[in-house]
Structure 1
Amino acid sequence: MRPLLVAFSLLTSSAAMAQATPPQEQLPTPPASEPREAVQPASPADPEPKQPPANAYSVPEGSPSIDERLSADEHRVEALEEQNTETKNDLSALKKLRFSGYVQARYLYQEPQDEVTGAGGFSRFTIRRSRLKATYTGDLAQFMLQIDASPTGVALRDAESTLFIPGTKQQLSLTLGQMKWPFGYEGPQSSSDREFPERSRVVRNMLPSERDRGAKVNGRYKFLRVSAGVFDGAGTDSGTTQDNDKEKDIIGRVGFDLKWIAGGVSGWYGQDLGKLPTDTFRRAYDRSRLGADLQAYFDVVPLGGTSLKGEFIAGRTYGAANNATHLDVPAHGWYLLLVQNIGLNDAVAVRYDTFDPHNGQANTANGETPGADNAVDTLGVVVQHHFGENLKVSATYELPMTQVVAQASDPKDNLFTLQMQARF
């Protein structure tokens, strides 16, 4: 670098002196016919010839030397290199930090159960989800925080601290915090990617809050996927910010991913403290789940890609409010979803799901109204259009069909949902 700096310094010094030297007055050119007189050397009698000034070809007095100028240039280059390094470090840190989020704005209409009085139905606008997520991924660690701002307030959804096990190339990790249960397919799936506005009825009952506080291990090896952890078990919708008992639930899923087909088997075992009317004191009841899911993707229809997804879940002790409303009650359910893409921006999906809250034990609250233990089948159809990558509009119509006995009748509770989702 120093030879380059020397050349650069000499060039700049020469240019500076050339600009600083005033232009000399040109002498007239003698005629060509007149020969030039030869310059005779001065004789001893002649006076001494005039000598050029001493500083005519030297650096003016007080100017920095070449070494000084080179040192100054080196300092300037070092300063530029430091600034470049700092800029690269800042850009590298920004690449590791990612912000994302989405808003789901809806219009809902449910037909009234009584056409005369209009009781049981509604027509309203709402904000279902408004999420903001920040993720910072380093070589050995990951930070993830997600909040949900809704008309009822701001709530914490995810707060994860993840360690990537050294030497595994981020294929094996340990996560501690508040996260989604590693169970099934539709439960951990993001609501922004799902075709239907809400999860199927069986998932909403068996995994009511989708999230809990605990620790889990994630592992990937080729096409295998493993995720398992230890959690409080009550979920984040239990109404408390901390677990009130020492019981812990073990939840996990073993799956595979072959690109065009994927699936897995999930398990859950734990206990929940509660008290039934026949109990004198609180006791521990089993809280268990067993599930299987499968997803297949095809590209045989000329209109676009086709996907077929299904899931089955059976378990005991569940509840939409705090995951323990129905103590020691067995239940099961499943869903089947068919999605057909039309081009790049449109899709049509049909889903049929069923949930039996008491494994076939049907009842009625009275002679005409279905009870809480009646099974419900739901047929849903959704049409969606993507306005680019950031905006999706969907129209969904769902027909719940409650299985009834005796004189009870299926309530009128068909639901229409118009949703606009914006994401970044």
Structure 2
Amino acid sequence: MKINYLKYLFILALVFPAFVSKAQQNDDLLNVLVKKNVISEQEADSLRSDEAIKAQKKKDQDVANQHSITIGTRALQISGLLQTEYEGFEQSTKTNTFLLHRARLDVKGNISDDWSYEVYTEFAGVTPKLLDAYTTYKITDYLKVTAGQFKVPFSYESLVSDADLEFIDRTQVVNALSGRSTDVIGNQNGRDIGGELTGSFAKLNDHYLFDYYFAVVNGAGYDVTTDNNNHKDIAGRLAIHPIQNLTIAADFYHGIDLFTVAAGTAKANTYNLRNRQGIDGRYVWKKLSLTAEYDKGTDAHLNRNGWYGQAAYFVWSNKLQLAARYDTFDPTQTITTDRTTDYTGGVNYFFNKWAKFTVDYIDAREQTATQIKNNLFEAQLQLTF
């Protein structure tokens, strides 16, 4: 009996490396062992059966651990995002704190081959907020029609999912010019209510060469019951993919919105011009990702601009990722002493495809001679389900 156990251990040692590759290779190897009389046909069949059972168990486990739950034949998919963050401030006037950065529930699906929907809700904060609530009708790949509340098609970084950001926070220019935390219209999470046309065309090998987006929105932001003026804003974006994993895009936003400007002669809470233009690019090659974006905007009489460049690289498998970013923004081009530049270094550790731990350190520099001690340490634990 000991001889039989040793034989099986020897066989498994030979066969195991092949089991991590294609099934055909496994079968070929067993056939060779049978022909050389190392094992019998019955023993080979037993090994095939055992491996098939293990493979099915793994497949069942993967299905059970999917990122979403599918209910019924019309695909009700339920997923979510939890982010708990710690902020450590260099400024003594600010309080170091833990906070619930995001707590979101996403419900979406396809009720037919042509119709899809999404309802995305934020529960972090004082009151819940409805982020996305839209339906999309797909006519062809070249033309899809969306109506409801959705992300405005401006800025690459603004359109990236919060769960997929390579840093905890978005850049200064994106927060200021894409309807986010420091925009003149307030933090709208990059979203608005209206209609949108999207599509992809000019297929090249196995990918489309162009993606386009064109939206007409209220300009009043998200999670509101009515518009605050009769003007409607428009936004558009055209992305080109000359090769796989490379995207180069240009976009614009034109609106007349109700807001207050902090400097100059424009009246408070009046209808002011709010325009934006931008270009961006992203390239992913194996474990390396490179991203850059430039945006400029006009709010009433104020001209603003900024840009960022960042790189991220997996130094260990798909577990440990290092990232660095240069981020500069000028909130008032007529003032020569108010530009701020952030140098950010980050580390992402992926426990698996659902759990991620991120640490960022931001070295903030002001254009003025006297620097403010406002560097920031951030840590965040993220779980998606």
TM-score (norm 2): 0.73
Structure (1/2) with the larger helix percentage? 2
Query: Match for 2:174 among 165, 180, 203?
Result: 203
Letter in 1 for 2:240: F
Query: Match for 2:216 among 230, 240, 264?
Result: 230
What is the distance in 1 between the residues matched to 2:366 and 2:360?
19
Verify the 8 A CA contact 1:220 1:226 in the aligned structure 2.
yes
What is the distance in 2 between the residues matched to 1:381 and 1:279?
38
What is the distance in 2 between the residues matched to 1:253 and 1:155?
26
Query: Does 2:372 correspond to 1:388?
Result: no
> CA offset at residue 285 of structure 1?
2.9
4+ residue stretches of structure 1 with deviation over 3 A?
A: 91-95, 273-284
Letter in 2 for 1:272: D
Query: Match for 2:228 among 244, 254, 263?
Result: 244
What is the distance in 1 between the residues matched to 2:101 and 2:301?
32
Q: Deviations over 1:280-310 (max 9, x none)?
A: 89864321111000011223xxxxx111100
Letter in 2 for 1:174: V
1:379 corresponds in structure 2 to 343
Verify the 8 A CA contact 1:270 1:286 in the aligned structure 2.
yes
Rg comparison, structure with higher value: 1
In the TM superposition, what are the counterparts of 1:43-62 in structure 2 within 5 Å? Answer: none
1:126 corresponds in structure 2 to 99
The alignment partner of 1:187 has SS state of: helix
Q: Report the CA distance shift for 1:213/1:413 in structure 2 as closer, same or farther (over 3 A).
A: same
Query: Does 2:178 correspond to 1:217?
Result: no
Query: Match for 2:282 among 271, 281, 295?
Result: 295
Letter in 2 for 1:271: I
> CA offset at residue 328 of structure 1?
2.4
Verify the 8 A CA contact 2:354 2:384 in the aligned structure 1.
yes
Query: Does 2:81 correspond to 1:102?
Result: yes
1:329 corresponds in structure 2 to 302
Task: Determine what percentage of the aligned residue pairs are the same residue.
Answer: 29
1:420 corresponds in structure 2 to 381
Q: How many residues align?
A: 296
What is the distance in 2 between the residues matched to 1:347 and 1:309?
15
Letter in 1 for 2:210: L
Verify the 8 A CA contact 1:146 1:156 in the aligned structure 2.
yes
The alignment partner of 2:332 has SS state of: coil
Query: Does 2:149 correspond to 1:178?
Result: yes
Letter in 2 for 1:132: L
Verify the 8 A CA contact 2:71 2:77 in the aligned structure 1.
no
> CA offset at residue 272 of structure 1?
2.4
Q: Deviations over 1:350-398 (max 9, x none)?
A: 01110100125135xxxxxxxxxx1110000110111111110011101
What is the distance in 2 between the residues matched to 1:279 and 1:149?
36
> CA offset at residue 92 of structure 1?
8.2
Q: Report the CA distance shift for 1:93/1:200 in structure 2 as closer, same or farther (over 3 A).
A: same
The alignment partner of 1:384 has SS state of: strand
Letter in 2 for 1:285: N
Query: Does 2:285 correspond to 1:312?
Result: no
The alignment partner of 2:164 has SS state of: coil
The alignment partner of 1:242 has SS state of: coil
What is the distance in 2 between the residues matched to 1:287 and 1:281?
14
Query: Does 2:239 correspond to 1:265?
Result: no
What is the distance in 1 between the residues matched to 2:88 and 2:276?
33
In the TM superposition, what are the counterparts of 1:152-191 in structure 2 within 5 Å? Answer: 152-165=126-139, 168=140, 170-191=141-162
Letter in 1 for 2:362: E
Q: Report the CA distance shift for 1:400/1:234 in structure 2 as closer, same or farther (over 3 A).
A: farther
Q: Report the CA distance shift for 1:362/1:96 in structure 2 as closer, same or farther (over 3 A).
A: same
Q: Report the CA distance shift for 1:422/1:360 in structure 2 as closer, same or farther (over 3 A).
A: same
What is the distance in 2 between the residues matched to 1:422 and 1:252?
32
Letter in 1 for 2:246: I
The alignment partner of 2:158 has SS state of: coil
What is the distance in 2 between the residues matched to 1:231 and 1:341?
39
The alignment partner of 1:204 has SS state of: helix
Letter in 2 for 1:205: A
2:324 corresponds in structure 1 to 350
Letter in 2 for 1:226: Y
Structure (1/2) with the larger strand percentage? 2
Q: Report the CA distance shift for 1:272/1:136 in structure 2 as closer, same or farther (over 3 A).
A: same
Letter in 2 for 1:263: I
The alignment partner of 2:253 has SS state of: strand
Verify the 8 A CA contact 1:287 1:328 in the aligned structure 2.
no
Letter in 2 for 1:289: R
Could you say what the CA RMSD is over the residues aligned between the two structures, in angstroms? 2.1
What is the distance in 2 between the residues matched to 1:106 and 1:285?
36
